[in-house]
């Protein structure tokens, strides 16, 4: 699923979280000292009550201190998810068929791995309310534990930071010249949202300094 790499921030947070009372993330620190988990999912519908998650991808990202530079993708996570039947319109949109998913790991196993991956880092997505709610509802259903991460939306950030006629991910990919093949697949869309985030960092108002400032600005 993913291969962890050594990183000073991760190592410090690992030891800080040991014991009976794990430390919570400190959002009063400069925003570039937090880690951000960029997430995207593909689903068979818009509501977790009557549709299924069929793919998830996530990128754990450390922003640069100088926003004119690129940050570092520390590690990545990606998995297909078992599904008994993929609607034809979803196959047409994503390229994923029932045959592709019939031997994929079950939702419970994938979400267990995902929660280990994201830990308590900031959850980021384009139109984050959808991804966060869908994943959280699935976690509550199969793991008895919903997501509790702080949440940041690159769609909201883009609307404030990028003077564009539209702010959908596919449009911004072309408008900003990101050159990422947007194919309605989870990894590509997560990467595109990360690149949109980097662009927004370059033009943030000067008063946006802490992680909490950024979270408030991106709501």
Reported as a single tens digit per residue, the pLDDT across 117-168 is 999 999 999 999 999 999 999 999 999 999 999 999 999 999 999 999 999 9
Whether this prediction's pTM lies above 0.75 is answered by yes
In the CATH scheme, what is the code of domain 34-217? 3.30.420.10
Query: Distance from first CA to last CA of the chain, Å, rounded?
Result: 31
Across the chain, mean pLDDT equals: 90
What is the band of 196 on the pLDDT scale with cuts at 50, 70, 90?
Answer: very high
More confident residue, 104 or 18: 104
Q: Judge whether residue 14 has pLDDT over 50.
A: no
pLDDT confidence of residue 212: 96
Q: Judge whether residue 181 has pLDDT over 50.
A: yes
All structural domains of the chain with their residue ranges? 34-217
CA neighbor of 123 nearest in space, from 155, 152, 147, 148? 152
More confident residue, 8 or 183: 183
Decide: 31 and 218 in contact? Cβ < 8 Å: no
Up-side HSE of residue 71: CA atoms within 13 Å toward CB? 29
pLDDT confidence of residue 65: 95
Residue 85: other Cβ atoms inside 10 A: 12
Q: Judge whether residue 29 has pLDDT over 60.
A: yes
More confident residue, 3 or 157: 157
């Amino acid at each position: 699923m993913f291969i962890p790499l050594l990183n000073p921030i991760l190592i410090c947070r690992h030891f800080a979280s040991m014991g009976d009372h794990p430390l919570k993330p400190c959002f009063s620190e400069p925003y570039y000292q937090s880690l951000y988990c960029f997430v995207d999912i593909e689903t068979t519908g818009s509501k977790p009550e009557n549709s299924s998650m069929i793919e998830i991808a996530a990128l754990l990202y450390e922003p640069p201190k100088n926003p004119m530079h690129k940050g570092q993708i520390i590690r990545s996570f990606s998995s297909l998810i078992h599904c008994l039947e993929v609607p034809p319109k979803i196959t047409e949109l994503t390229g994923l068929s029932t045959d592709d998913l019939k031997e994929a790991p079950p939702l419970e196993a994938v979400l267990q791995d995902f929660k280990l991956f994201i830990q308590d880092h900031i959850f980021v997505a384009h139109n984050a309310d959808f991804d966060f709610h869908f994943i959280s509802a699935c976690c509550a259903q199969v793991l008895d534990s919903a997501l509790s991460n702080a949440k940041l939306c690159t769609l909201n950030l883009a609307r404030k930071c990028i003077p564009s006629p539209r702010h959908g991910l596919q449009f911004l990919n072309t408008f900003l010249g990101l050159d990422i093949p947007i194919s309605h697949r989870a990894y590509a869309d997560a990467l595109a949202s990360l690149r949109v985030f980097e662009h927004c960092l370059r033009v943030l108002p000067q008063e946006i300094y802490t992680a909490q400032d950024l979270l408030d600005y991106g709501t």
